[in-house]
Structure formats: C-alpha cells, structure tokens
Amino acid sequence: MYTRLASVPDHSFFLFGPRTTGKTTWLRHHLGDAQWFNLLLEDDYLPLLASLRSFRERVEARAPGSWIVVDEVQRLPGLLNEVHDLISRHGDAYKFALSGSSARKLRRLDVNLLAGRVIERAMFPLVARELGSDFSLDAALRFGSLPGISSDSQYRVEKLRAYVHTYLRQEIQQEALVKDLGSFHRFLQIAAIMHGQVVNQAAIARDAAVARTTVQRFFETLVDTLIGTLLPAWQPKAKVREFGKPKFYFFDAGVVRAIRDVVDEPLAETESGALFEGFILHELRAAIAYQGLGGELFYWSTPGSKAIDFIWVKGSKRVAFEVKSSRTWRARYAKTINELLAAGKVTRGFVVYRGRERYRSGEVDGLPVADFLSLIYTDSFYGDRP
C-alpha cells in the first residue's frame, strides 16, 4: 500500500474523492478503531434507513473523543442532520469523518452541509510523489493512476473497462436521472474526445443528438460526482478579448482512454498532448489540496494564438503554467508567459515539458517533468522567483 499525502485533521471532516481513489482504505488505515458506518454495505445501510435515531444512539454510546466514520454518506444524506445535532449538543466530544464520491445528492436534497462545523479534504488518484520509484509517466498517461488498477499489469485494462461500465454508465446515469441511456453514452464518448478542450455545449449537443440543457446537466453530473472538473477561464481585464467558457478535464487518463475504448492500445501521439496536460492538472490540484494552499486554478486564452494552460491565483499571487508534450525545448514556449510577466498580469511562470534539461527563457523557468513534480511540493515554488 502506498503512503498517501493526505493527513487526518484533528477535527471533523468531509473526505470527497472519486470512486476507487482509496478513501476507504486510507480511512481504515488511520481510523481503524473508529465506529464505522459503511453505507455501501446493506447491513449498515438498511438499519439506518429504517431509523436514523439508531445512528445517534450508537454514537452516544461511544466514549468522548471517539472518531465516527460514515463511508459513502451521500447514500443517506439525512444522516448529516443527525451529525449536526450531535455536534450542536456535544461540541467536539465526537469527531466525524464523512466520506463520499458524490456531492450531488447532498446538494440536490438541500441538506445541512454542516458549514463551519466540518472542514473538507480531498482524495485524488495516486500522484507521482506517492508512487515514488514506481512512477512512470508513460504508464500514467496510458492507464491512469487509480489505486489497485494502474499497478495491476495483468488486469488493469479489464478493470478500467469495468470501472467505466459500473461507475460511469450505471451509477452516474442514475445520478443524472437519465431515461435515454443511449444519449448519455454518446455524450460520454464525446466528452472523452473533448478532454482538455473548451466546452462548446451547442456543438456537443448536436453531435450527441440531445438538447443543450441536457448536455449542461450531464456535465454538472460528471463534476458533482467528481469524475471531471470544469476549469474556468481567467479574465484579468487585459486589453485583448478573452475566452470565457470553461475547459473540461476527466480526473484520470486511464478512465478517459477506457471511455474512448482505446485503453488496450499503445498511446497515440494525437492523444498524448491532452492526456499530458490533464496529468499535470491532476498533479497540481492534488499538490495544492494536500498542502492546503487554497487559491483557484484557471486557464487563459484569446481567440488568437495566445494561451496559458493553467494559472494558480491566490490573492496577489498569479503563477502561470504552460504544458508541452514535446521532448525538445523551444524558447517560444515561454513567450506568452513572459509577455504577461512583463505586463504585471502574472507574478511567476513555468513551462513543463517532457525533456531532461532545465532552461530559463526570459523570466520563465522551463522544467522537465521530474523537476516539476518535485518542486510543486516546495513553498518557494508558488511565490516570487528567487
């Protein structure tokens, strides 16, 4: 088992993450002595469904200071009201770890999300820092990095196909209340092709033969179930016209390729660019979350040729990242970031590429993948250039 970078806070918390990212294993490892309610198990789920009061009674039977784990809490959102009541009456006498792979039901049913009483943590697929010497960029782009899947060289293709079938085409279809399963299947394949691109709902609706409002609902479902993320456009009020539509990324390269039904084939050059970009986004999101840095990630683009893949914004800090799948460095890769640095629009800039040497073009650092993956866990990386 790989040691995960997430740490258990000394406070009640939500733990959100897509299915099979290792939430339950991690909780068992750190909170194995806790009172457990695994709502995927009918023996736990059905008694609570019949009487939420039994949850309160079982918790209050524990000694003060005990941890209470509720796994897949979205299956029974009403439990959050019980948690709220217990915290209101007992304060910090009990600590709750509430895990889930979907916030959709919680929001849709307008339940109490315990704002201000429970903090949030996130779990991602394995990152390079967790994999250590087992990390392979080519394998990460071909098969993703889901625990228990990517490392199983014998069955990972079959497991990824099963993941797509079980969790995406069944569970998410139910979340989306889809009546026409064919329409969701067509949408899913088009969304996988559009991985890393600006969302054009009208074009996707036309290609999938569904209404535009349906496409919007499908995207919201993928985001709410943590299968994908919408990256908003950054608009710093520059003098040029900028794109305002978000980009969409799936959370794992292996899942993208399984949806496209090419996961058993060698990685094609035509797909490696978008998958590499999505991989860098995955590593950035995880590093920011695990270090508790806060801020928000954007992309920036104009109708012309100017674009920056990712910009991390927090207060006065604006760090730009350009991602290039090339193994050869070109000074032009840093041109747009240097222009924004000169204009004072960003405070620092990096280009990540697949070569082996570090470069500096103007005020921009060109980093090989290995250097980038190491530096994103250093404090100085997100500040001004030393």
Q: Is residue 244 part of a domain?
A: no
User: Do 77 and 60 have their domain in common?
Assistant: yes
Sheet-wide strand order for 35-38: 35-38, 67-71, 95-100, 13-16, 119-122
pTM: 0.92
- Please identify, among 216, 236, 269, the residue that sits at the C-terminal boundary of a domain: 269
Are 359 and 260 within one domain? Answer: no
In a domain, residue 242? The reply is: no
Q: Considering its fold, how many domains does the chain have in total?
A: 3
d(CA 40, CA 44): 8
Q: 262 with 143, same domain?
A: yes
Q: What is the pLDDT of residue 156?
A: 95
Q: Supply 249's token pair.
A: 């990324």
**Residues 70 and 116 occupy one common structural domain:** yes
Whether 275 maps to a domain, the answer reads: no
Same domain, 19 and 107: yes
Answer whether residue 263 is part of any domain: yes
374 shares a domain with 288: yes
- Considering the domain architecture, whether residues 136 and 261 belong to the same structural domain is answered as yes
Mean pLDDT for each consecutive 10-residue tract of the chain (386 residues)?
92 92 95 94 94 94 96 89 92 94 66 73 96 96 94 93 82 66 86 94 92 90 90 75 82 96 94 97 97 95 86 95 97 96 95 97 97 93 74
Task: Give the pLDDT confidence score for residue 110 in this predicted structure.
Answer: 45
- CATH number of the domain at 310, please: 3.40.1350
Q: What is the pLDDT of residues 280-323, one digit of tens each?
A: 999 999 999 999 999 999 999 887 778 999 999 999 999 999 99
Domain range for residue 363?
Answer: 280-382
- DSSP codes joined into one string, 234-292: P----SS----SPEEEES-HHHHHHHHT-TTSPPPHHHHHHHHHHHHHHHHHHHHHHTT
Residue 114 and residue 158 in one domain: no
- Whether residue 106 sits in one domain with residue 52: yes
pLDDT score of 176: 60
Question: 369 lies in a domain?
Answer: yes
Instruction: Tell whether 85 and 132 lie within a shared domain.
Output: no
Amino acid 379: pLDDT: 84
CA distance 282 to 259: 18
- Which CA distances in Å does 382 have to 204, 285, 306? 36, 13, 23
Query: From CA 123, how far away is CA 98, in angstroms rounded?
Result: 13
Q: 């001004």: which residue's tokens?
A: 384
3-state SS class at 350: strand
